[in-house]
A and B are shown apart, each in its own frame.
Chain A
Amino acid sequence: MLRSLFRIAVVGLVAAGVAGACDGGLEPEPICARSLVGLCGTVRFRGAVPANTESVFIAAYLAFPQTCTDLINNRRPVIPGSVPFTDSIAPYSVSLSPGAYHWVLAVWKKPGTLTLTPADTQYLRVAGYYRNPADSTQPGVVTVPSGAATGDIDFVVNFDSLRPATDFVTCTAR
């Protein structure tokens, strides 16, 4: 009886092991999923990650923002997801409506509750942005086609050079 139980246990353990081994390994990770409408690419990180880093997220603007209010209200997506920032490189993809985006950037955030008001800028810094391939001093324009994604939107985040929003827009409240 005990031997039979043992045999059943052995078979059960092996079967459980085989079943468990059927998944969980490394899988392909397309940078741009087929179903994505938006843009995708990779972010390469430079510099030392500040100790108070809470997240890094990707944002896009149809028109370059002029004010702090534009910066908060016109951001797409409104509530972005974080990009892993502990490796030297991270792929990202962002769902966006079709259109021509004039500023695609990575935003660094320190701990603090966002209120979707210009006061949010006290927690945020511009960490890097996609640049015009023809003139790297200028932001690049990215067009998201209807029903598809634009890939290869790659740019650099430099943690040693986080810039406040006031370097780019006019703010009346911080």
Chain B
Amino acid sequence: MHRAVATLLLVVAPLPAAAQGIVRGTVRDKDGAPISGASIAIPGTTLSTRSDLQGIYRIAVVPAGRVRVYAAALGYGPVDTIVALTGGDSTTVDFSLAPAPLALPPVDVVSDRVPHFGDRPATSVGQVTERDLDRRAVNTVDEAIDHVSGLQMVNGQTNVRGSTGYVQGLNSRVLMTVDGIPMNQGDRGGINWDLLAVDEIESVEILKGAGSSLYGSAAFGGVINVTTRDVPTGLHTRLRLTGGVYGDPPHPVWRFRDTPGMLGGADFSTSYGTDVAGGRISLGDRHSDGYRQQDQDDHLHFAGRARWQHANTRVDFSGAWAADRYDVPLSWCSRGECDDEGQVFQPFKVDTTERGARTDSRKGYLAARVRTTVSPRFAWTARGSWLRTHFVDVRHTATEFGIGDRFGTAGQIEAHPDSARTVIVGVEATFSSVTSDIFGSHSQSEFAAYGQSDQRVGALRVSGGARLDFLAVDGGSLTAVVSPRIGATLNGMWRASVGRGFRSPTMAERFVHTTALGFDVVPNPTLRPETAWSFEIGHTSPPLLRFMRLDAALFWTEARDLIEPQVLLIPPDTVKIQLQNVVRARIAGFDASVIAAPIPDRLIATLGYTYLDTRRRLAGDSTEGPLAFRPRHLLTLGADYTLGPIGVGADFRLASRPARIELEGFVDSRRVPVKVLDLRAAWKPAGGPVEVRMLATNVLNYIYNLVPETLAPVRTVTLTAVWTH
């Protein structure tokens, strides 16, 4: 006991200033060009930073003596060096990184909630880099992450290894965090992909597998952590203009307008920063005619971010607000519901009774975060956030609205008792409320405490931890959920993990009272949390034949009390729909990804494949069937070729036809496999302020749907010009 207290005091106690120094310098590539966003760290301590747009970095409170400094960036090989640092002095360490397209991601934050530099996580993590976002010239984050192996967006809902399936706007089994702050809606639990402008985003990490041991509810199937761009020093301005055109229906009998649909937008951001403080504001506006009838969308957003650094403390503020007014195409037109021109269905047209339907949506968030690095061995972080969503659905039959708030606060302590061990403990409290004519007025409180220890023993790195969550709805009794996890990596190449995930029912799921498909949807306040055990074994190969690298994983999830819509047949002829805990489910499978650079510096090719085997069993029924909306096969292929300022690339995405959909028999069950080819080209002169990108998605104009009676996007060609100062 005395030894533990002594160790704690040793860890917490700040070092005297005389025993500290500053490490500063630059990170550049072999041609001397600055590398922004590179990670620089003193491994085994709380000390790390990222390089700014000029490649400049600075780390304070570094203990004097011989110090190991690590630098790495995506697409470059890591560099480790040891420098001698005198107390009260500063040392300059300039890094020159060599391109290494097969290099593993330099830092992993999402899997352990603290950054690990050069270490591989025990659970699979996918990554979308700033370069991926740039070259895909996408407008929202979900468009970019759709290409990550094992991930599929189903009409805006996120499936990590088949986790979520699809229930229109009522839940998500994947948690989204922005710079570590949970951002799922307070009322519906969904994710607002358009709240963040894509220009604000530096990278996205996707934890594949249960993350509830650290993140709690909603991290049932995975976590998506979005890292936003820091505010660099100096004055910086960025303007992004986008214009494009939608393809016409490929068959004349499906035509619904005389002129092609257009889309366009502008995003502007400017920032100014010094070593002490900085801020950025950005705003953007977009309009889209849509690719089908009644599909217009007008989007406006503002965002801001500020940072302040004093001694060992850094404070960050961020916020965003977005307004959308979009027409709602609802379900496509079936025979007799519109001018069907003698067709069984008209996928580009809508039911005439739904003409004029639209949704007005407002959403915004404010967040603040304080981090104090007390010593190289001890740091604490506190944060608070508020997320609001407000929608008004205007229909002929009714006008519905909902206002959801989510207030969150958290504290976390990070300790490194020695260079081989990391310990984190934290507490969280979340209060969510909803006021709506379809969900009623309700609230939900969540309180949690978690802890995790990470220990390196030779080539083995073991981590273990648990989280205890208490949930209360409308001030009622608390429900407790325990979520443990243990994981290990060997030589950074082999990994294995076991963890428990859970998801608390959203207030929308418990209390929804509306109509869908012409039937009443009735509330179910007695819903219980979903729980699941997830297992994974994976391997990341060293470079094979010097030009390719393979990553593969076997995964297995056993879930209980999954919440799915059920049809209630009430004699003699009443049909109602209710969400119920009815399903035991298994999601097992295999995913693999290959990255290859057969022509160094020029050609990079990627392949991702996921095989999903799902089973569901209703309570009291021994028959089994597949889970709805889960394709058995997911395949992504990508290739990029760069020659000087010119770059061209292609992506192909295939998903097999799901064997089952929800409410089969009550909706048009027509569905086909997904086969989408995207092409892109870029012109980006080295060091120039302007770059131009062309993106053609679904170039073959393959007509398909992911959910019943809802057409997926058709061929769209966009041209994007970015000016950076």
| Chain A residues with a Cβ under 8 A of chain B | 2-3, 6-7, 10, 13-14, 17-18, 20-22, 24-32, 42, 46-49, 86-89, 91, 151, 154, 160
A17 to B253, CA, bound (A): 27
**B573 interface residue per 8 A CB criterion:** yes
Do A86 and B664 form a contact, CB below 8 Å, given A21-B652, A91-B335?
Answer: yes
Q: Separation in Å of the A12 CB from the closest CB of chain B?
A: 11
Q: Which residues of A contact B652 (CB under 8 A)?
A: 14, 17-18, 21
Q: 1/0 contact trace for B672-686 toward A, CB 8 Å?
A: 110111000000000
Q: Which residues of B contact A47 (CB under 8 A)?
A: 573
Q: Find the B residue at minimum CB distance from A42.
A: B335
A155 to B666, CA, bound (A): 18
Q: Which residues of B contact A31 (CB under 8 A)?
A: 335, 342-344
Q: 1/0 contact trace for B647-681 toward A, CB 8 Å?
A: 00010101000000000111111101101110000
A18 to B345, CA, bound (A): 27
Q: Which residues of B contact A2 (CB under 8 A)?
A: 545, 547
Q: Which residues of A contact B654 (CB under 8 A)?
A: 17, 20
A151 to B704, CA, bound (A): 27
From the candidates A6, A25, A29, A89, name the one contacting B703 in the complex (CB within 8 A).
A25
List 7 A–B pairs whose Cβ atoms lie within 8 Å, in order of A's numbering. A3-B599, A13-B637, A24-B673, A30-B344, A31-B344, A88-B666, A89-B335
- CB pair B667 A88 closer than 8 Å: yes
Most buried by A among B605, B664, B705: B605
Q: Find the B residue at minimum CB distance from A85.
A: B665
Using C-beta atoms within 8 Å of the partner chain, give the interface range for chain B. Answer: 35 or more
Do A7 and B598 form a contact, CB below 8 Å, given A14-B650, A87-B667, A89-B334?
Answer: yes
Q: Separation in Å of the A86 CB from the closest CB of chain B?
A: 4
Most buried by A among B336, B667, B705: B336
Q: Separation in Å of the A52 CB from the closest CB of chain B?
A: 16
**B251 interface residue per 8 A CB criterion:** yes
| Chain B residues with a Cβ under 8 A of chain A | 251, 253-254, 334-336, 342-345, 347, 545, 547-548, 569, 572-573, 596, 598-599, 603, 605, 607, 637, 639, 650, 652, 654, 664-670, 672-673, 675-677, 700, 702-705, 711
A87 to B343, CA, bound (A): 16
A171 to B354, CA, bound (A): 48
Q: Separation in Å of the A138 CB from the closest CB of chain B?
A: 22
- CB pair B345 A29 closer than 8 Å: yes
A25 to B698, CA, bound (A): 12
Q: Separation in Å of the A38 CB from the closest CB of chain B?
A: 15
A10 to B605, CA, bound (A): 8
Q: Find the B residue at minimum CB distance from A48.
A: B569
- CB pair B676 A21 closer than 8 Å: yes
A22 to B342, CA, bound (A): 25
Q: Separation in Å of the A30 CB from the closest CB of chain B?
A: 6
- CB pair B672 A26 closer than 8 Å: yes
Q: Which residues of B contact A24 (CB under 8 A)?
A: 672-673, 675
Q: Which residues of B contact A91 (CB under 8 A)?
A: 335, 344
- CB pair A42 B702 closer than 8 Å: no
Q: Which residues of B contact A27 (CB under 8 A)?
A: 251, 703
- CB pair A6 B596 closer than 8 Å: yes
Most buried by B among A17, A30, A47, A154: A17
Enumerate the 7 nearest inter-chain pairs by beta-carbon distance, A residue then B residue, closest first: A21-B675, A29-B344, A17-B652, A91-B344, A25-B703, A86-B665, A26-B703
Do A17 and B669 form a contact, CB below 8 Å, given A2-B545, A22-B700, A32-B342?
Answer: no
- CB pair B345 A14 closer than 8 Å: no
From the candidates A21, A29, A154, name the one contacting B700 in the complex (CB within 8 A).
A21
- CB pair A3 B547 closer than 8 Å: yes
From the candidates B343, B599, B665, B675, name the one contacting A28 in the complex (CB within 8 A).
B343
Q: Separation in Å of the A40 CB from the closest CB of chain B?
A: 9
Q: Which residues of B contact A46 (CB under 8 A)?
A: 573
- CB pair A14 B639 closer than 8 Å: yes
A125 to B572, CA, bound (A): 20
Q: Which residues of A contact B667 (CB under 8 A)?
A: 87-88
From the candidates B547, B650, B665, name the one contacting A87 in the complex (CB within 8 A).
B665
20 further contact pairs, Cβ within 8 A, besides A17-B652, A31-B342: A6-B547, A14-B652, A18-B677, A21-B677, A21-B700, A24-B673, A24-B675, A26-B704, A26-B705, A29-B343, A31-B335, A86-B665, A88-B665, A88-B667, A88-B668, A91-B335, A154-B335, A154-B336, A160-B572, A160-B573
Q: Which residues of A contact B334 (CB under 8 A)?
A: 89
A26 to B15, CA, bound (A): 68
Q: Separation in Å of the A85 CB from the closest CB of chain B?
A: 9
A32 to B669, CA, bound (A): 21
Q: Find the A residue at minimum CB distance from B596.
A: A6
A160 to B664, CA, bound (A): 19
Q: Separation in Å of the B670 CB from the closest CB of chain A?
A: 7
Q: Separation in Å of the A155 CB from the closest CB of chain B?
A: 12
A2 to B700, CA, bound (A): 31
A49 to B569, CA, bound (A): 11
Q: Separation in Å of the B574 CB from the closest CB of chain A?
A: 11
A154 to B669, CA, bound (A): 20
Q: Separation in Å of the B716 CB from the closest CB of chain A?
A: 16
Q: Which residues of A contact B664 (CB under 8 A)?
A: 86
Q: Separation in Å of the A8 CB from the closest CB of chain B?
A: 10
